[in-house]
Chains A and B, each alone.
Chain A
Amino acid sequence: MQHVLNVAVGLLLDGLAYGMILFIISVGLSVTMGLMGFVNLAHGAFAMAGGYVTVTLMSALGVPFLPALAGAFVIVGAASVAFERLLYARLYRANELDQVLFSIGLVFMAIAAFTYFYGPAPRPIRVPAYLSGSVDLGFRTLPAYRVFMVAVGAALVAALWFGFERTSLGAKIRAAVDNRHMAQSVGIHVDRLFTMTFALGSGLAALGGGLAVNLLGLTPTFAIQYLVFFLIVVAVGGLGSIRGAVVAALVLGITDNAGKYLYPAGGAFFIYAATIALLLLRPAGLYGRD
């Protein structure tokens, strides 16, 4: 009985930590897709880049883990502005096919470039001692990094919720997601808003990528390996909905993790089946609007 409980708690915590990573990476994609309807398959590339920036800052410049994560957030977020202004902005009015192809092309180029500079082998990361051991909660000891992941994720959820629901910037974004033309006609500069959101979303993806290295590993193919999961979080949660992204990411993280452990052969099958069933019933996702 004790053993079953241990396994259950372990699976839940692993799943939560994994779900938090999915949330941190996907939430920016959800908001930018909700704003502009841009199908950006290259979002995973920003996460991958964030992982490499974190690792490089730590190993080459000796930056500690947490500042390196902040560095990844800032550097990738700033770099994404250039991409957005120079490339993405040309395709806002294009159809989905063009956007899909364009962003797949970007993913290929990103993977190739990072493979060229870093090689195809996984990059290790050395997390600080206080995160690599386990924490004693009195009644139970838990792996510290996963507890840290859940804490960071929860803090980000709270921060994003506050920013989205309680600040004027958040109100503008919500207005633009709901009705872009109306938002424009009441004087909201939607293009500039989008650039800011895009940078923030890419920065968050980079942060998630940096946090993910210790749990999921880091190779250049990270950009495409988890892409389907990011897309599932966005589509199932509903475009532009932070609440949807949280729910979808956590459910997906916990089920995928438990499925891999309890039923390794067919676990993934049920995730896709459930995704399809949900999208058939609610094409706009859990909290999306038609």
Chain B
Amino acid sequence: MAGTERSPGAAAEFLLRRHRWRPAEALPWLIAIGAYFAFPDYMALGTQILIGILFALSLDLILGYAGIVTLGHAAFFGTGAYAAGLLAARLGWGEPLSALLVAGACAALAGLVSGWVLLRYRGLTLLMLTLAAAIMLYELGNARADITGGFDGVTGIVVKPLFGRFQYDLYGHTYYLYALAVLFVMFLVARRIVYSPFGQALVGIRENLRRMQALGSPVHRRLVTIYTISAAMAGVAGGLFAQSNAFVTLSALGFERSATVLIMLILGGTGRLYGAFLGATIYMLLEDSLAKLSPEFWELGVGLVLVLTVLFARGGLLGLLEQAARRLRRWR
């Protein structure tokens, strides 16, 4: 039985080959750095895009890889945002990196607890549970306006200079580079996870839950693990959001944010890592220019794109690009 002897090595070879960096993967980072020099006046928007990418990337881990459909991912973003915001505004903890760690840890705890309870369910029930849990958190924030500041939000968030040395300028150059560095680190973590055997197991769960259970894979534990990691990442994105905007309102927790991040990811393509980059960037650039011009047409456009994506382009924009590349290769 040579096959059984060879297969573990072949599987490892397969994983290693996928894990290897491809030259094209440098592209988003080159663009991000290029944008820093090319559009110095748009750094505030750029920072928000980087935060959106990180948030969408965190969703991709659970939705794209593990197949967990959630309508309440903003709960973790908001938890992180409030953690970082309240630390700085109420406790005077202005050191940015440690505050981000706390933001991630708070969101991770929320993800661990809620995931452990909720991820035993599937389908419509899970959808409703994530939705209700996120709205419950929102209502809790609303009821405890003495802590969260209610609709006025947490203001007076003062962030100390990065590493005690880099001041923040009015145009957000420092925040941009800071967010970019955080995104890069988080991306390395995400990339490492999805190409690991653990990541393969998650894809297995996504594709066929029953078979993974029959194989003896600890499905629930794996789902909770990735859910917690994803929550932490969303929390870090929320923390960055609070620091760079210097305020947090309840909208950080709202259903709209959960829906928006879902749309960004779907637009870019799920289960592809870079879908989050493409989707968040295009969505936020278009939103910045079109939403102000005509809110109705923007909303109509978003709806139309969603419908068309579901009907004709299941892989999102990245999926379309992959198809086009495949066609081109065959044609040559």
Contacts and interface: CB of A to CB of B under 8 A. Distances in A.
Interface of A: 33, 37, 39, 87, 90-91, 94-98, 100-102, 104-113, 115-116, 228, 231-232, 235, 239, 265-266, 268-269, 272-273, 275-276, 279-280, 283-284
B30 interface: no
A255 to B, nearest CB: 14
Contacts of A272: 132-133, 135-136, 139
Most B CB atoms within 10 A — which of A109, A112, A265?
Answer: A112
Contact of B266 (A101, A239, A265): A101
Interface residues of B, number: 42
Interface string B288-314: 000000011111101111110111001
Given A102-B311, A265-B142, A279 B132 contact: yes
Interface of B: 63, 69, 71, 117, 121, 123-125, 127-129, 131-133, 135-136, 139-140, 142-143, 145, 255, 259, 262-263, 266, 295-300, 302-307, 309-311, 314
B300 A109 contact: yes
Contacts, number: 121
How would you classify the secondary structure of chain B's contact residues: helix, strand, loop or mixed? helix
Given A105-B307, A105-B310, A115 B131 contact: no
B206 to A, nearest CB: 10
A87 B241 CA distance: 38
Contacts of B259: 104
A101 B125 contact: no
Contact of B303 (A96, A100, A112): A112
Contacts of A104: 259, 263, 303, 306
B310 A94 contact: yes
B43 to A, nearest CB: 30
A102 B128 CA distance: 17
How would you classify the secondary structure of chain A's contact residues: helix, strand, loop or mixed? helix
B120 to A, nearest CB: 9
B309 to A, nearest CB: 7
Given A107-B303, A228-B135, A269-B136, A279 B143 contact: no
19 contacts: A37-B124, A91-B311, A97-B69, A100-B69, A101-B309, A102-B310, A104-B306, A109-B307, A112-B297, A116-B296, A235-B128, A265-B143, A266-B140, A269-B136, A269-B143, A272-B135, A273-B136, A279-B132, A280-B121
Most A CB atoms within 10 A — which of B127, B255, B306, B310?
Answer: B310
Given A94-B310, A101-B262, 15 more contacts: A33-B124, A95-B69, A96-B123, A101-B266, A105-B306, A108-B300, A109-B300, A110-B303, A112-B296, A112-B299, A265-B143, A266-B139, A269-B142, A279-B129, A280-B121
A223 to B, nearest CB: 11
A112 B117 contact: no
A108 B263 CA distance: 12
